[in-house]
Structure 1
Amino acid sequence: MSFRSLFSMFTVLVISVALLLGLAVTPTMAGSSSVTKGVEQLPQIDAEAGKVAEKSAPMGLEEVEARNEGGLNEIQGSADANKMHKADTSKPGPAIAKKIDKALEKVTK
């Protein structure tokens, strides 16, 4: 092995380690993101779930529909319903079969 190839391998190793260390530190900086705003609703959802779990008999359809009140389910209500993925508002992507065909074409070329 020549010095140049050994030096380039060492450089790639150092850059890889630096990249991995940088990626390991990044999640700790995400604590101030807007994702944490949903935590405010968790105690209320947890309390409602506890009430349902304490019942000895399962809820009937009428009780579930009454508790739901047009929300996502009887526990969550409509919490963050506007942030959820909805098929009618999203763009359809290519079918998985087409993705597989394209990947196989790239591999076989």
Structure 2
Amino acid sequence: MKISSVVLSVLRPVRFLIVAFTCALLLLSNTVPAFAIGTSPSDPTKATDQLLETQKETDKVARSAPPGLKEVQKKSNEGLNEVQGAADIDKQKRPENSQNATTVEGEIQNLLEKATGKK
């Protein structure tokens, strides 16, 4: 009986710290989204033409019969895939434009070299 009262008396400050930490976490998590208000707004009309064209294609396919294999292959060969075509092909990463890309190991090595000051 005395052991349980000793354990409870020891845990009381720990319980207070846990409650205080939880309250602080809740307070900070509610204030962090407010930092996004200061950023510059994005242009809502940017890239909508491309999306509208994709939507037109989607509506056209939805109204017609399912495309055959030859039609799908022809459409796929026009770009990256059948749906996207060649949209944003210059922004996407693929083996042809990633020859000079750094690997994860290289990134970690660079980070460690910067942290230790060695080269």
TM-score by length of 2: 0.48
How do 1:1-109 and structure 2 match up within 5 A? 1-2=12-13, 6=16, 8-25=17-34, 32-33=41-42, 37-61=46-70, 63-64=71-72, 66-68=74-76, 70-87=78-95, 89=98, 90-93=101-104
**Once the 2 structures are TM-superposed, how far is the Cα of residue 21 of structure 1 from its aligned partner?**
0.9
Choose 85-94 or 22-31, whichever is displaced more.
22-31
Instruction: Give per-residue Cα distances to partners, 1:24-59, cap 9 Å, x unaligned.
Output: 556777782479844442111011111123222523
- Sort the Cα spacing of 1:86 and 1:56 in 2 relative to 1 into closer, same or farther, 3 A: same
Deviation by residue 1:4-24 (Cα, 9 ceiling, x = unmatched): 973x44442232012221345
Q: Which has the higher contact order (CA 8 A, sep 6+)?
A: 1
Identity among equivalent positions (%) equals: 24
| TM-align CA RMSD | 3.9
Query: Residues 5 and 64 of structure 1: is their aligned pair in 2 closer, same or farther, counting only changes over 3 Å?
Result: closer
Cα distance in 1 for residues equivalent to 2:72 and 2:34: 44
Residues 78 and 30 (structure 1 numbering): CA distance in 2 closer, same or farther, change over 3 Å?
A: farther
Gapped regions of structure 2 (runs ≥ 5): 1-11, 106-119
Higher Rg of the two aligned structures: 2
Amino acid at match of 1:42: L
SS in 2 for 1:82: coil
* Higher share in helix: 1
